[in-house]
Structure 1
Amino acid sequence: MRHRTPKATVPPDPRLERWEAGAELPLLAASLVFLAGYALHVLVPEGNRFVRETGLVAVGVTWLMFLVDYAVRYRLSRQRPIRFVRTHWLDTVVLVLPLLRPLRVVKVYTAIRRRGSRARLGLHARVITYAGLSALLLGFAGALNVYQAERHAPDATIRTFGDSVWWVAATLTTVGYGDVVPVTVRGRTVAVGMMIGGLALLGAVTGSFSSWLLSVFAQEGDDEAPGE
């Protein structure tokens, strides 16, 4: 019986780590520009065509930056396409749906869980801060998307951007009053994403806070043990 010898794993290019470290802040700025451009295109009245078109240009340029970053990461990783997509699924989702870029906080939450054996308040506090900022950015992006999809739909209850913000706040916090709801397919698809994102972010915050409390209590118990 033959035994297949496993193929040797090609190590990533040493430049990959430097690229990821150097590109993180520029891509964060590009994400904010993308969101601002999309907001201009959605919120500015249709009569002001120049501003709306400028927003679209900003969206296109920043999305190209995301595409270049994704291509460089793939090239330097030296992985096959399917394996790269599997190991970088969040980057792939963000490339297809750039408005979901705030969900990269999941990577931070994974990192803190791997270091759960050590009590590091700074790390826990950063996760909570990132989750809060991500909730704001994700909520704003979702409100824009739902408002764009719903405002001209027949029988829609979300007619203004304020209605959309109210709906997103109720959805992300898992309250769900039900006074305003999306009626279009696109709006309901965004709603599912908001529900999943809200649960994930809420879980990241509560999990990190609980982990910090348990670490503090465990440390206090260790300090009291010698005296007893």
Structure 2
Amino acid sequence: MNAHPSPAAARRLHLRSRWQNAARWPLVALGLAFVIGYSVYVLAEDLPPETHGAIFAILALAWICFLVDYVVRLALTPLGHKWMFVRHNVVDLLSVLLPVFRALRVLDLLRDIPYLQRRSGAAVRTRIIIVAAAYAVFYVYFLSLSTLQAERNAPGARIQDFGDAVWWACETLSTVGYGDMYPVTTAGRFSAVLLMIGGIIIVGVVSGTVVSYLSDRIRHVPETSNEDD
């Protein structure tokens, strides 16, 4: 199998790279606008209807832009590499389908930090921990918002304010699950499933990284001879 792409494929990959570089910062700005807009949309219940309409328009615009970006990049990917593109950009695809992943696109900023571009063991572990922590924060915050939106006015709901939603999300993400708070709506339970899956992944990744760090440190500790012979 030829490891080098054909001239046509190389040109498409070059165009995709140029598109990604041009679209990166606008998408980060849209991701931040989405986070702020959705937060206001859920938490500020007493806003006038026209303000809610404007915020909803911003959220819709962000979704359209993320959709266009994904479709363009997929279209510019050569035929033999499209499945690989989908596999390596799962969060990008999910950001088109689910709002919580749309907000996670702002984490692309981490790729531009010079230290995190290094390939040493310490840099890789640092990058994993930072990304996992950032994902956990965004997960808790955004799924708390979406759960509160679904549960707040539901009959028999226990999650009635943002504090309740954050507490519930933290105990669910950490796999503790006290049972004092739980969703009763379909949308709220779907958020709970996402939190459970995310908790398993994040806790597993961080635990594995810590074990790797400790193993590396132990391996580099010099052995001392027994001087009391």
Tell me whether 1:147 sits opposite 2:134 in the alignment: no
Match of 1:50 in 2: 50
Q: Deviations over 1:46-83 (max 9, x none)?
A: 45223322321221121122112102211221237973
Seen in structure 2, the aligned counterparts of structure 1 residues 208 and 29 have a Cα distance that, compared at 3 Å, is farther
Alignment-mate amino acid for residue 43 of structure 1: L
Q: After superposition, where does 1:94-113 map in structure 2 within 5 Å?
A: 94-101=95-102
Seen in structure 2, the aligned counterparts of structure 1 residues 209 and 102 have a Cα distance that, compared at 3 Å, is farther
Could you tell me whether the CA contact under 8 Å between 1:119 and 1:215 is conserved in 2? no
Alignment-mate amino acid for residue 150 of structure 2: A
What is the distance in 2 between the residues matched to 1:146 and 1:58?
21
Give unmatched runs, 5+ long, in structure 2.
111-118, 225-229
Q: How far off its partner does 1:198 sit? A: 1.4
Comparing 40-49 with 134-143, greater Cα deviation is found at: 40-49
Comparing 92-101 with 150-159, greater Cα deviation is found at: 92-101
Aligned residues with identical type, % of pairs: 37
Could you tell me whether the CA contact under 8 Å between 2:31 and 2:104 is conserved in 1? no
What is the distance in 2 between the residues matched to 1:99 and 1:143?
10
Match of 1:216 in 2: 217
Could you tell me whether the CA contact under 8 Å between 2:91 and 2:101 is conserved in 1? no
Give unmatched runs, 5+ long, in structure 1.
1-7, 109-117
- Aligned-partner SS, 2:132: helix
Alignment-mate amino acid for residue 36 of structure 1: I
TM-score by length of 2: 0.77
Match of 2:192 in 1: 191
Q: How far off its partner does 1:103 sit? A: 6.0
Match of 1:182 in 2: 183
Match of 1:60 in 2: 60
What is the distance in 2 between the residues matched to 1:39 and 1:58?
12
Comparing 197-206 with 46-55, greater Cα deviation is found at: 46-55
How many residues of Structure 1 are paired with residues of Structure 2 in the alignment? 205
- Aligned-partner SS, 1:14: helix
What is the distance in 1 between the residues matched to 2:47 and 2:175?
37
What is the distance in 2 between the residues matched to 1:102 and 1:210?
30
TM-score by length of 1: 0.78
Comparing 212-221 with 76-85, greater Cα deviation is found at: 76-85
Match of 2:202 in 1: 201
Tell me whether 1:132 sits opposite 2:133 in the alignment: yes
What is the distance in 2 between the residues matched to 1:28 and 1:211?
32
Match of 1:3 in 2: none
Seen in structure 2, the aligned counterparts of structure 1 residues 92 and 79 have a Cα distance that, compared at 3 Å, is farther
- Aligned-partner SS, 2:190: helix
Seen in structure 2, the aligned counterparts of structure 1 residues 24 and 127 have a Cα distance that, compared at 3 Å, is farther
Seen in structure 2, the aligned counterparts of structure 1 residues 182 and 23 have a Cα distance that, compared at 3 Å, is same
Match of 1:28 in 2: 28
What is the distance in 1 between the residues matched to 2:154 and 2:71?
38
- Aligned-partner SS, 2:101: helix
CA RMSD, Structure 1 to Structure 2 (Å): 2.7
Q: How far off its partner does 1:102 sit? A: 5.8
